[in-house]
Structure 1
Amino acid sequence: MELFDRLLEDAAKAFTGWDFSFIEDTGRIQYELLPWSYGSKARKYLFGAESLLDMGTGGGEFLSKLLPLPAYTAATEGYLPNVPIAKKKLGPSGVEVFQIEADDQLPLQSDTFDVVLNKHESYAAVEVNRVLKHNGIFLTQQVGGTDCTELNQLLGAPINPSYQDWSLRTAAEDLTSHFTLVEQEEAFPVLRFYDIGAIVYYLKAIPWQVPYFAVNTYRDALYDLHLFIEKNGFLDVRQHRFLLAAMPK
């Protein structure tokens, strides 16, 4: 029980931006490789681009690694605490960071961007179409509706019905009203946890996985998972990812 309690205390470390290095860089979680690279696809579409929008930039972690950026680059972020972090990281590169409240009300002019990137962020297809140039490209990697639902089941937590049908099929159907699809892929890679503290840290960082997650609420189930990991060395759950690239019609 002492190790269990200490790992729970350790998981109380603050999470900022979109930075999982506390558990990633120490190898406490491991991701199975996807059959595509979002970064490589982004780089491919950015060659020759003069303007770029990064939707849901978080703390600017990914965008800051795509230097050199197009002459005009903007980013949006809906989570207020991330906005100053993103501005601090991206400001020196000349990136405009916009705080947004609604996916269908982007504070950006029409026909502005050669490329719109969107990694794990919600979007309104009609609004993305509006801000893209006619020959532009929209590249998005999304978290599917069955992502890590085994964690919910193991904890006895409800699964949010709002996302369960979100998949490559439903996203593609939504986009085809305004876009011509260029690429589409879907995968269910394994996410491996090596200790209960990593699970708790992960769930606190993505509160939509288990709404209103609190250690005290799920303490008994968490302890059972702790014992399972101590016996077996790790816990595997299935992620759900899909990727789409599309051009305005």
Structure 2
Amino acid sequence: MDSFDYKKFYNEVGQMNGWDFSRLSVIVEDALWNFWSEVSSRCKAGDILLDIGTGGGEALLRMTDAALLLIGIDHSEAMIHTANRNRERSGRSNIRFLPMEASKLGFPDRFFQVISCRHSEFNAAEVARVLADDGVFLTQQVGESDKCNLAQAFGRGQSGNAKRGTLMERYAAELKEAGFRQIDCRQYDAVEYYATAEDLIFLLKHTPIIPGFGQTESDFQTLHRFIAEHQTPKGIQTNADRFMIIAYK
């Protein structure tokens, strides 16, 4: 999927669903961390936190007690519309959602103590500029081996044929060049079990795991075969390849 198609897809998901996958029934085994717990544990009561690529703001709204002020940004106007609707429903007053490109952050230098970015692109130089001295940046990203059995079954996937760890190494190098003094990298490849075919279809329709999923009837024939081959007593088996970088300025 090229960048234009991805933006269109992401906007459509933002209007329909935001970035909320809490409705999915899925078991994850051997995940080595919870990203938002990692972010929350590094926040102090008086901190200002920035979340890049916040989607519908669902995760940020669950951790409003962690910091004094939380600001979520996203390049998608549709996602921000959904995020503000979610904020109004929550009644939380210490959170803001703004449309903004990650490549040009409209904030003063050294404004934030904590910056997070989950499954979204970021600009290392801009993160370094708006992060306070001794601040921390945390990002979790999807690894190249994610949903490898699905990509094999469909003959296409969001990472192509890239070697595992390629993106992590690139991001770590960019953060080092931007001046971060300590960069810690972690990886895991967890087993996932989706309870029903409907759970898996929802995931595939609302993420770019299989680019263009559902546009042809053959996709559902392939999915039917995939489920038959990977059905287990725990659910439909696949994997979640994730990496996290924690960078200290």
The corresponding residue for 2:168 is 168
Taking a change above 3 Å as real, the CA distance of residues 158 and 185 of structure 1, as seen in their structure-2 partners, is closer
CA distance in structure 2 between the aligned counterparts of 1:198 and 1:87, rounded to whole angstroms: 26
Of residues 42, 53, 63 in structure 1, which corresponds to 2:39? 42
Q: Matched residues, percent identical? A: 24
Superposed displacement of residue 126, structure 1 = 0.6
Specify the SS of the correspondent of 2:133.
strand
Question: With structure 2 as the length reference, what TM-score do the two structures score?
Answer: 0.81
- 2:48 touches 2:70 (CA, 8 Å); kept in 1? yes
RMSD, aligned CA: 2.5
Matched, 1:70 2:67: yes
- 2:40 touches 2:66 (CA, 8 Å); kept in 1? no
Superposed displacement of residue 52, structure 1 = 1.0
CA distance in structure 1 between the aligned counterparts of 2:245 and 2:34, rounded to whole angstroms: 12
Q: Give the 5 Å matches for 1:198-213.
A: 198-206=199-207, 208-213=208-213
CA distance in structure 1 between the aligned counterparts of 2:48 and 2:130, rounded to whole angstroms: 11
Unaligned stretches of 5+ in structure 2? 1-14
2:106 alignment partner AA = P
Specify the SS of the correspondent of 1:21.
coil
Superposed displacement of residue 150, structure 1 = 1.7
1:191 alignment partner AA = E
The corresponding residue for 1:53 is 50
The Cα offsets for residues 119-144 of structure 1, whole Å up to 9 and x where unpaired, read as: 22211111111111122111111111
Superposed displacement of residue 48, structure 1 = 4.3
- 2:46 touches 2:67 (CA, 8 Å); kept in 1? yes
Taking a change above 3 Å as real, the CA distance of residues 146 and 125 of structure 1, as seen in their structure-2 partners, is same
CA distance in structure 1 between the aligned counterparts of 2:175 and 2:233, rounded to whole angstroms: 43
- Matched pairs, number: 229
The corresponding residue for 1:140 is 139
The Cα offsets for residues 166-219 of structure 1, whole Å up to 9 and x where unpaired, read as: 44333222221121225321100111123322221111110x211111151412
The corresponding residue for 2:227 is 226
The corresponding residue for 1:129 is 128
1:20 alignment partner AA = F
Q: Give the 5 Å matches for 1:82-97.
A: 82-90=79-87, 92-97=92-97
More off after superposition, 230-239 vs 217-226: 230-239
CA distance in structure 2 between the aligned counterparts of 1:162 and 1:15, rounded to whole angstroms: 30
Taking a change above 3 Å as real, the CA distance of residues 75 and 106 of structure 1, as seen in their structure-2 partners, is same
The corresponding residue for 2:8 is none
CA distance in structure 2 between the aligned counterparts of 1:231 and 1:247, rounded to whole angstroms: 42
Specify the SS of the correspondent of 1:240.
strand
CA distance in structure 2 between the aligned counterparts of 1:182 and 1:21, rounded to whole angstroms: 31
The Cα offsets for residues 10-39 of structure 1, whole Å up to 9 and x where unpaired, read as: xxxx95112223323xxxx22124222323
Question: With structure 1 as the length reference, what TM-score do the two structures score?
Answer: 0.81
- 1:149 touches 1:159 (CA, 8 Å); kept in 2? no
Over alpha carbons, which structure has the higher Rg? 1
CA distance in structure 2 between the aligned counterparts of 1:71 and 1:196, rounded to whole angstroms: 41
Unaligned stretches of 5+ in structure 1? 1-13
